[in-house]
Amino acid sequence: MAFFSMFKPKWKRGSKLDRYRTIEEIDNQARLGRIAKKCRAEDLIPMVVDKISDPVILARVARKAKDSYARWAATCKITDQNVLMQIARKEKDRNVRRVAVSDVTDQVFLAEFALNDPDNDVKKKAIKNLTNPHILAQIAKTEPDSGVRWYAVNNIEDCNLLLTLSQSDPDESVRRCAKTKLREIKKEA
């Protein structure tokens, strides 16, 4: 068995400390990207992704890494809105989608995710940055999940809609949120 371990890359063999040292020595961005895409050792992934600074390689890791943690870590470092939107649209892992959506400011994109994503936490992240009053109103009136409605109500500025929601929403916490938001708006005026 020891004979075959000689053919493994240095970052895959030896003790944990040896693997860390090997990663520390690597400066080649493309090589780090290849390691991040193939690596399944959760203890090495943060270190590898942290060393990557090339946005193209980060995007490639975020899209193609086998490990969802590597995709998540790379997505956390990406700032390009278009790349984040592509990742969010194609990614199956909800944690990666949540990170990608949380940094996007494009209102059409956010509306798409706030209305259609199957995961409520991703919807909430989209709603946090959503400013379109019509979409927020639609979510507050029609979304089946009360937690998602609460996030939408918290972003609404329309006093008439807030008054309606404070009286008619089936969930007590959403009604309370609408009343609190209404009081805040009246206090500011």
Query: At residue 147, does pLDDT exceed 60?
Result: yes
The CA distance from 76 to 59, in Å, is 10
| Whole-structure pTM value | 0.84
pLDDT computed for residue 44 by the predictor: 83
Contacts of 64 (CB under 8 A, 6+ apart): 37
Contacts of 179 (CB under 8 A, 6+ apart): 162, 166
Q: How confident is the model at residue 4 (pLDDT cuts 50, 70, 90)?
A: very low
**Tokens 């972003």 correspond to what residue?**
155
- Could you give the percent of the chain with pLDDT greater than 70? 93
Tokens of 168: 């008619």
Q: How many Cβ atoms sit within 10 Å of the Cβ of residue 144?
A: 7
Domain ranges of the chain: 7-104, 105-189
- The predicted model gives 49-78 an average pLDDT of 95
